[in-house]
Amino acid sequence: MGRRRVNGWEKFLEAADWELYKKRVEEAIRHAVWKFRQEHPDEPVFTISILTDPQAQWTCISFDTKEHALQYIQEVAQYWREKGNEETAKGLEELGFCPNPADFKYYRFYEVYHPELASLRGLNFADEEQDRAAFAWVEKHLEEVVAKLVEEGVFTFENREEVVRIGINSPYDWFDKTWEI
Q: What is the DSSP letter of 171?
A: S
pLDDT at residue 1 is higher than 70: no
Cα separations (Å) of 136 from 19, 43, 54, 63, 108? 16, 33, 10, 23, 22
What is the per-residue pLDDT for 84? 94
What is the per-residue pLDDT for 6? 58
User: What are the pLDDT digits (tens) for 83-121?
Assistant: 998 999 999 899 888 889 999 999 999 999 999 999 999
Q: At what angle are helices 66-82 and 86-95 packed, to 10 degrees?
A: 170
What is the per-residue pLDDT for 128? 95
What does the domain layout of the chain look like in residue ranges?
17-180
User: What are the pLDDT digits (tens) for 43-59?
Assistant: 999 999 999 999 999 99
Residue 173, CA atoms < 13 Å, CB-side half-sphere: 11
Single pTM value for the model: 0.90
List beta partners, residue 106: 63
Using the CB atoms, write b or e for 70-92: b if 16+ within 10 Å.
Answer: eebbeebbeebeeeeeeeebeeb
Residue type, 24: R
Pick from 16, 14, 17: nearest CA to 4: 14
Pick from 130, 122, 181: nearest CA to 155: 181
- Averaged confidence pLDDT in the chain: 92
Higher pLDDT, 92 or 11: 11
User: What are the pLDDT digits (tens) for 126-166?
Assistant: 999 999 999 999 999 999 999 999 999 999 888 888 889 99
